[in-house]
Amino acid sequence: MSMLNRRMFSAMTVALGLAATPLKAADVEVRFYYPVAVGGPVTKIIDDYAASFEKDHPGIKIKPVYAGDYVQTLGKALTAVKGGDSPELAILLAADLMTLTDDEAVIPFDDVLKSPADKAWINGFYPAFMENARVKGKTYGIPFQRSTPVLYWNKEMFKAAGLDPDQGPKNWDEMREFAKKLTKKDASGAVTQWGIEIPSDGNTLWLFTGLTTTNGVRLNNAEGDKVTIDHPKVAEALNYWYNLSKVDGAQPAGLINWGTTPRDFIEGRTAMIWHTTGNLTNVRTNAKFPFGVAFLPKNSQYGAPTGGGNFYMFKGISAEKQAAALAFVQWMTTPERAADWSIKTGYVATQPAAYDTPAMKAYTADFQQAIVARDQLQHAVPEVTVHDNQRVTKVFNDAVQAVITGSKTTEAALKDAQRDADRILKEFK
């Protein structure tokens, strides 16, 4: 259709539309920025939700804006806020809580709640997820797409290696042993099947927190102004990770790509992986073998960081938009919807009530793997959430990557990282 025809066509449509419907009051538009951080056709799911919401709430228009990964979405949102053009909502990392409050970009949901029902709603989420949603007692984030890392294992490969296919490794020693047994080489010595892959080039700190928590050490304090990096238990965790490649030869050397790891698992290039539970549906759809999902193996305790994104509401939007945005957030986080979202993606459902819904009960009846992450919540800790979070995260990531690539010793890397992190956090004390 040529430009001219298309313009005439749309002009006619508009004219007909105006003539046909009575003039209605201007719709309230709620823009929400969201990242896509797990596999699967998530864009479509979000769009469907938006459309359903609009049907239930005529007069509100939802405009999802797909902005890239979490980091890019944070950047876009902050840029928009600083440019005086805030969106109403965004789904951003729970861990970026303090970055957002320090910049005074977001408002507490408590200020927008009106009825007792609202207040009940805000208390219905898993406490593990709310730990890094609150600052000074006020709630800034509403959990939506939350996850923990889990260990996926290939049952066929376990059986072939003489291991019990229905039992994942329970502790660090077992994980090491299993990984070594599961590594296969061909005639020339090249590895055809790796025992384990723990990705190290994306969400490095998140997965590393899985190792440190199971080793019994916390990386940051609740106020978010102090981090513990140069600590023997942290060093232990890092060495364990590094030795899986260096000493045991059970994990590829150098940085392992976050994006290709699930695919490696699906294609049978590795027997075990650590990855977000949010990839569960992706793995389930594409893996052609039975697989298991387990807690992260413990060393001194079980533990895992929570991850993923919360809804945040931005400052500087009108009361009318606030109400509309709140309605959308509440609609998106009813137990039924939380269950639906969890089933479709593999993210952990954010409320206990969601697991009691019929849909979820039916789903977990024949797919036990789906509740592993939920069960791990009792051992979960919030991921590292501090001031100037992106910068401090980078310090951690750099240190871990330096050791994993063999370019720094663990001692040197952790010492440097502690010094750099302290310098960054100095102004927030």
Partner 1 sequence: MSPIWQQGLITRLLSTAAAWLLGLLWLLPLLFAAWAAFHSSANTARLDLLAPLTLDNFATAWSAAPFARYFLNTALLVTGILVAQFILCTLAAFAFARLPFRGREALFSLVLIQLIVAPDILLVENYRTIKWLGLVDTLPAIALPYLASAFGIFLLRQTFKTIPTELEDAARVEGCGWLGILWRVYVPLAKPIYLAYGLVSVSWHWNNFLWPLIITNSVETRPLTVGLSVFASLDQGIDWSIITAATLMTSGPLLIGFLLFQRQFVQSFIRAGIR
Partner 2 sequence: MTYKPQTSITAWLLVMPAVALLGLFTHVPIVGSILHSFYSTDRPRRPSRFVGFDQYDAMFEDPIFWKALTNNLIYALGSVPFSIAIALAMALFVNERMAGRGLLRLAYFTPTVMPMIAVANIWIFFFTPDYGLIEQVAQALHLPAHNWLGSTNTALFCVTLVAVWKEAGFFMIFYLAALQQIPTDLKEAARLEGASGWAIFSQITFPLLMPTTLFIMINALINAFRVVDHIFVMTGGGPNNTTSVLLFRLYEIGFKYFDHGQAAALSVVLLVVLGLIALGQFLLFDRKVHYQ
Binding partner of residue 225 among partner 2, partner 1, none, CB cut-off 5 to 8 Å per kind = none
Binding partner of residue 188 among partner 1, partner 2, none, CB cut-off 5 to 8 Å per kind = partner 2
- Taking alpha carbons only, the member of 329, 291, 18, 279 closest to residue 143 is 329
Site for partner 2 in 159-198 (CB under 8 A): 188, 190-191
Site stretch for partner 2 (CB under 8 A), options 12-20, 294-302, 322-330, 390-398: 390-398
CA distance 296 to 349: 19
Interaction between residue 387 and partner 2 (CB under 8 A): no
Interaction between residue 228 and partner 2 (CB under 8 A): no
Q: Measured from the CB atom, is 104 or 164 closer to partner 2?
A: 104
Instruction: Encode 217-240: b = buried (16+ Cβ within 10 Å), e = exposed.
Output: bbbbeeebbebbbbbebbbbbbbb
Instruction: Encode 103-118: b = buried (16+ Cβ within 10 Å), e = exposed.
Output: eebbbbbeeebeeeee
Please, what is the end-to-end C-alpha distance for the chain in angstroms? 62
CA distance 404 to 395: 14
Least distance in angstroms from the C-beta of 104 to partner 1: 18
Position among 88, 96, 201, 383 found at the interface with partner 2 (CB under 8 A): 201
Quick note: the x/- pattern for partner 2 over 68-87, rule CB under 8 A, is ---x---x--xx--x-----
Site for partner 2 in 269-308 (CB under 8 A): 269
CA distance 317 to 325: 10
Site for partner 2 in 97-126 (CB under 8 A): 102-104
What's the one-letter identity of residue 189?
G
Binding partner of residue 43 among partner 1, partner 2, none, CB cut-off 5 to 8 Å per kind = partner 1
- 409, 424, 130, 399 alpha-carbon torsion, rounded to 10°: -10
Q: Is 142 helix (H, G, I), strand (E, B) or coil?
A: strand
CA distance 120 to 83: 35
Binding partner of residue 66 among partner 1, partner 2, none, CB cut-off 5 to 8 Å per kind = partner 1
Site residues (CB under 8 A) for partner 1? 36-41, 43, 65-69, 72, 76, 79-80, 82-85, 202-203, 257-263, 266-267, 276, 279, 282
For residue 82, what are the CA distances in angstroms to 14, 190, 409? Answer: 35, 52, 41
Which residue ranges make up the site for partner 2 (CB under 8 A)?
A: 71, 75, 78-79, 82, 102-104, 188, 190-191, 200-201, 252-257, 260, 264, 269, 388, 390-391, 397-399, 401-402, 404-408, 416, 420, 423
